[in-house]
Amino acid sequence: MKFSIQINEGPYQHQSSDTAYQFTKAALEAGHEIFRVFFYHDAVNVATRLAIPPQDDRNITKLWQELAEQHKLDLVVCIAAAQRRGLLDEAEAKRQGKDANNIATGFRISGLGQLIEAGIQADRLIVFGD
């Protein structure tokens, strides 16, 4: 089965990112395909390269990066939600006249069209969080 994943809640305020990560990992281990993972609303905060969780806590950004690298996952961050929260890639920072970017390696910023495509291309779109 081909899944697309949508995550709506922030990585440290809600269990959605962890649950989505565990579901995605289990689905891949079971032989399923993941078409795309779309980070929306506060979930875009998963994609920052500047977060430093305590040593005894999990690093959800790193976990997603490793899973994406291992399975060639498409990790897409909603551009509107990202901009509202100060998350920019290099191109968007330049376009907006900012002097820095903060998106983590393995994530990319794009629009809601990517979420629509994910829903069309997958057999199931699974949504984590409100």
| Residues tagged active-site | 78
Q: How many whole angstroms separate alpha carbon 17 and alpha carbon 99?
A: 29
Nearest to 43 by CA among 97, 105, 100, 107: 107
The beta strand positions in 8-119, using DSSP E, are: 33-39, 75-78, 107-110
Strands (E), 1-130: 2-7, 33-39, 75-78, 107-110, 124-128
Contacts of 41 (CB under 8 A, 6+ apart): 8, 9, 78, 81, 129
Question: Amino acid identity, residue 58?
Answer: R
* 16 SS3 class: helix
